[in-house]
Structure 1
Amino acid sequence: MKYLKHILCIFFLVFATIAIAQQSRTEKVPFTVKGEVIEDETNKPIAKVNVEIVGGEYTTTDDLGRFSILAKEGDQIVISSDDFQTVYYDVEEDDFIKIRVEAPENEISKFKKVASNRDAKSAFTSYIDSAKITLKKNATQSIGYVTTALEVVPKKEITNTENSIAFETLGDINLFWKQSDLAIGNYKRSLTFSPRVDVQIKLADAYRQNNKYQESIELYTVLLKERLSNYQKVIVYEGLGDNYKQTNVPVKSIFNYQKALDLATANKITPKITDLNSKIGEAYALGGSLVEAEEYFGNSLTLSKKENRKRSVEEKNKVADFYNQKKDYNKEIELRSEALEEINYLEDDDEEPLDNNSPLTPQRQNYKIANAFLGLEKYDEAIPFLEKSINEAESKSDLVVEKDATRKLSEVYRDIGDFDKATESYERYVEVIDELYVKKEQEISQASRLSRDIALQQNRISSLESEREINESRYKLAFENQELIEKNNTIQKWIIGSLVLIALLLLAMAYNQYKGVRQQKYANNILALKSLRTQMNPHFIFNALNSVNSFIAQSDERAANKYLSEFSQLMRSVLENSEEDFIPLEKEIELLELYVKLEHFRFQDKFEYTIEVDNEIPLNEFVIPPMLLQPYVENAVWHGLRYKEEKGLLTIHFQKIDTETVQISIIDNGIGREKSKALKTENQKKQKSKGMGNIKKRIAILNEMYKDKVDVTVSDVFDTKEGTQVVLTLKKD
């Protein structure tokens, strides 16, 4: 009977409190709020700004930026425009308010200025990147960037890939802001431009989030037949597991999660290994297999500790929920206490502050720890955690948790018989409900406005596409008109074309005539070269035959045969190369070695010789006219070394100058050009040197035909004008 009285007393107090709260709400008298909206930097008034009371009146600013609106204390005024970021103002009294606003760093206008001075393709990429950066902060602004990206690239220049990327980004924005129906439409639009696998995976996930599980499962199944990367296969199997878990088919869910886990483990995709162990644990728990679930949750806890602190906290919270389901409250309390300590570290590390909707906030963890103690019927241990939860929630304006914790605290005090504190807590609970009601109205209004803004942006993009199609039609019409104009000008073009053609024919005839002259000259040069190539120096042939005759007269048949054999070999090689303009330098060196050997055979007591070839010369890459060097060597032997009293020396050196040039030096230490000329008989002076004459003509013709291919200089070796040096420079091409 005593308890019944207390209960009746509590109910009386509760109803009285509710009545007082409702009366206090109804007693709020509306009044007129006046104010102005000005630009922060310039102090210029802004006209036609939307001014709205959440759930109430609406007006706009006049040309002076002024407004007046009916409001009550505690109302929230929303000041919004496309030109600046939305401002929220809480009404406290009827004083004149001044709202200073600023554009969101004028990002879009800055990009437009940049785009005018930069390639449209680069601007498109910049806008898309900006959309991705602002995706999680401001949906309207992010969609605005995508819209601008589509506007900066002309219809004729935009590619299917760019269109696909733009609509994929829109889908990403929609999916993040829980608008899965819009995300599905945009992902489908993206796929019409480019059927990319990664977009199909996103579409399947959007289906799942929109509760279209069969469409999601079907698309994921089709994707398994495509060529996927290992990571994509993991995502697809995980997506199938998510669908089956949400449709309460734990066996198939576990099967697909396990497939994904095997792939992630084999390919060392570490973050997914942790996630999949956790999800398998959830699926086992869903199917009632708590032992298996605990095993996998143990794995996920161990793995999450190797990642960052936030991931570890998330996993501890998830496993604590599992222990709560098992009613193993002691393990739940242990895990939540660890998580709570790590959450405090996260806040101390200046991490991004946790959203009140996150399950990882201190107020939620304290509240859940209190519930676990209540599950163990440890009321005294639960009360401090409920009080901590209320204080944390109040400091962070988390009215939802504050409401639940206050109500729970009232119930605990009631259960332990402390009715005064129960009543006090319940009164606070009623106040929080009242505040939460107002806040929810504001959130609903803001969500409605966000949805409206996003819908407007989406319609703008659709209008942009329609406008592009209209412009394309206009372009086709203009093109057809242009064709008509071109047909009217056809006769004029034919006349002009005919005149141009006649002029071109005349030019062609003149060019052919010029070309014919050049070809004739070239043919004459070729004939001249062939004629010169077939002529061997008569002195050499005559002297060679005399040498053979001399060997025979001396009954030295063996020497005669050897000399004649090598002479015939030289003659055969000369005849074989007589039709060639050029031969490899290696072959010319062989001919020269054979020739010098014959001359040395005849004049062994007159000179020695050396032939040095630089090893760095790629002999097969350089070519030379055949028997070009022989006349110079013959001159050195017959006119320099043969008349020397002591034994002379003939040096032939092939040296690489660079990759394109070889220098050939023929040096003798004979009597020199002046003494040799003085020794000539009158008959010899009258005769012209056929060898040197031919070689000069050949070099002149070759240089004319092949642009200075061969360069020859002749000089004395010593200051006494004895010795002769011939330097021949040969170019590769």
Structure 2
Amino acid sequence: MSIKGVCFWCLLLLGACLGAVAQDSLRAGKLLDSIRMLPNDTAKVSLLIKKGRAYTRYFEVHKTDNPFWQEALTLSQYLKYPAGLSLAYNELGTSKRNKSLYIIAEDYHEKALKYAEEARDTGLITFSLNNAGVDCRRLDKLQKAFDFHIRALVLAEQIHDIRNICVATNSIGNIQLTTEKYADAITHFNYALQLEEDNHNDLGVAINLGNLGYAYQGQNKLDLAIHYYKRSLAVNQKLDNPTGMAICYNALGDAYKEKKDYQAAMDYLQKALAVNDKVEDKVHVAESYLNIGKLLGAEGKHEEARKYITQSIEVSNYWNFKSMLMDAYKALAADFKESGDFKRSMDAADKSLLYKDSILDEKSSMALKQMQTIYEVDRKDNQIRTLEHDKMVGELRTKRNVVVTFALAAFLLMAIIGGFFYIRHRNLRANKQTLQLELRSLRSQMNPHFIFNSLSSIHRYIWSNNQEEASDYLTKFSRLMRLILDNTQHTFITLNKEIESLRLYLDLESLRCNGIFEFNFHIAPDINDEEVLIPPMILQPYVENAIWHGLVHKPAADKGLLDIEIVLKKRSLVCTITDNGIGRKKAMEIKERKGRMHHSVGMQVTEGRIDLIRKINNKEATVTVTDLEDGTGQPSGTKITIILPAEFIF
């Protein structure tokens, strides 16, 4: 399809829809006004949710929030109706997921789960768990998604909820498909398929048949994969589902391409291209052009291949499909390289990398906007609760006016005593704020220190590797920087966030050091890393010191080991960093030989932070360094023990 053809199609569609859009808008507005006139009760909440579903498509097309569901949410809060809150948050979360706002969707569906549990409605709990699981799967939080769906499956089987059993089973299969556990995935898809067939749900049958095809293709059982793709195609044809047919045609084309049956592969990809004219999402058109181009390239028909890849680029440019543009330019670069045109191959590869960077920036920006949206929603909810609380306080005050006269004398006496304690408390608080400002100043020094060290670490790596490897390394570095810059905005962060950033830092340093050391994390089983709090970047300087003054100087034949252990002892968090490096004494000798006798800035800042934490909390906060020795008294590494006051979210 040419760009002119695409434009003409858009104009026709726009002209046909204008009248319907105006009518839908008018009807929705009148209906909402009429519902607002009804009494405020749970039946009104149910009606708002039902009518919101009826106009879902209209509001999604116009990219606006569904006012019916917003009204249902507000009314449920007013009525203190947890089941209504769960239903409203489920609908709002699914709407956000359909717009690819997965972070907001996850937040809404987890709120829906909380209110469903408060309502003790097992069906709602199951539904909310499945919704949250799908959000996590889209965010690549596979373990969390798996846990949600397993919980949903257990509850759904208890109440014989077939719909949610099918959703949970299929989702678990998809997670196993993503992690290449094909045998387990096939078991779950077959179970879901049987349930869908028993309930005569043809769309569910088509989906599970296609999933089975992907699983068998993953096992390289191409004939069996083709068999299931064709069964899925037959059901989609029966349903007259063009999107499903396009997916099946593309899957069949890919499978036949793997079998090197290029003619059959081309036939199916051409069918996919033809049926895509009926599919609203034009990304499938671009995908079909790209697949045909790759197939022709595999056959050695490079000129013709580039024509199809170029058509994919034209459609993707028009509709701004950046992921497709990245893949298309990458395929074009490979085709030029195969043809021996290395200059044009490099140009295409550069464009592919530009789109890759653009996609990463957009994802980061979108994630930030979603987090800000979640913050604003929570802030408004808190304001509503505060207003309700103030209203109750006002009502109580009107009943206490008689007591005021008799309590005046006692009040004056208490005011004098309270004034004394207030002044004392204010002085203590001022002193504490001074210490906190000093702590914040030290914490802010960690960002430039860490960024400088990390940039120095990757400098040589970039210049000694090819472009693709360098780009991937910088992508990991960018992720780490975003984590560090976000975490160091807070006095405390959850332990899992600190471990995530530390693990990513160790991955980068291990890559740079050519894997000369291994690292392990040991978190005590009684620690919930999502509830325990820790100052950000408190462990990194000691880990960095262990690597660059202990492990990198070990002989090449002797593998370096770095163990990080975190345990909870009473009200203290004990973090132990142990390495099998050369020890402090030999490290000092190496420093003297190289003429570098300066104390680590990161260590100085961190020691200052720990000292201030002890002063502010008036609790134990210490760092102890122990030199390790083997049986012969020779240095065998260093152990650093950091004791911090245990802090919790709740």
* TM-score (norm: length of structure 2): 0.48
Normalized per residue, which structure has more helix?
2
TM-score in terms of structure 1 length: 0.43
